[in-house]
Amino acid sequence: MLRFVRRPSRTAPRAAAVVIALLWPLAAWAHVQAGEAGGFLSGLSHPVSGLDHVMAMVAVGLWGAQLGMPAVWVLPVAFPLMMAIGGMLGLIGLPLPGVETGIAVSALVLGALVLGQIRLPLAAAVAVVAFFAVFHGHAHGTELQPGQNAMLYSLGFVVMTGTLHAVGIGIGLMHRWDFGRVILRGAGALVLAGGLYFLWGALA
């Protein structure tokens, strides 16, 4: 006669074996690519994540286009370099008082310069842009997500900053036409109004 005997369940040991196989920690193969794509994309997206930054950086390009050669390229060269120095100051722990106020004032001043089509000597124009770039770098050049590659974050940050300047220069090319000059001054007024709004927010 056939007898059915209840054997001990094998389900639990099998499940444990499967879990062990799936979750067994393999050796960590350390290499240089971890988080690199994220770091670059994070750096690219950071400058466009705040309207105050975007307005100020585009305004640098607009003003450069109004001033013509050589300011049209000297200003966008000076801005990223001084912004990087601002970021470096932030990273080494040097405090910069009134960073948000400085960023808002940068939009306000640059907007006013574009609105008024104000022509400063090249050295003075570079000094204005370089001064404000330090605030932008100090505030936003230092926000790296954990696990991301600092080199690629910095690269993305600088590339996007330069791209925003290029957008400003591209728009500023309409300066050669009468109607373009009016539109540029209108854009300056918009940046100035944005600067006032951000300044209100920073001081409130």
Taking CB under 8 A as the criterion, the residue among 57, 99, 114, 158 binding other proteins is 158
The C-alpha atoms of residue 58 and residue 80 are separated, in whole angstroms, by: 13
Told to check if 204 binds other proteins by CB under 8 A, we report no
Query: Which span sits near other proteins by CB under 8 A: 104-112, 157-165, 174-182, 196-204?
Result: 157-165
Q: Hey, what's the torsion of the CAs at 52, 121, 172, 116, to 10 degrees?
A: 70
Q: What are phi and psi of 10, to 5 degrees?
A: -100, 0
Told to check if 16 binds other proteins by CB under 8 A, we report yes
Residue 27 CB-half CA count within 13 A: 3
The C-alpha atoms of residue 192 and residue 95 are separated, in whole angstroms, by: 27
Taking CB under 8 A as the criterion, the residue among 35, 38, 48, 89 binding other proteins is 89
Told to check if 5 binds other proteins by CB under 8 A, we report no
Q: Is 72 helix (H, G, I), strand (E, B) or coil?
A: helix
**Nearest CB to other proteins, comparing residues 155 and 174:** 155
**Nearest distance, CB of residue 16 and other proteins, angstroms:** 5
Q: DSSP letters of 50-61?
A: -HHHHHHHHHHH
**Total number of residues binding other proteins (CB under 8 A)?**
46
Query: Which span sits near other proteins by CB under 8 A: 27-35, 54-62, 120-128, 186-194?
Result: 27-35
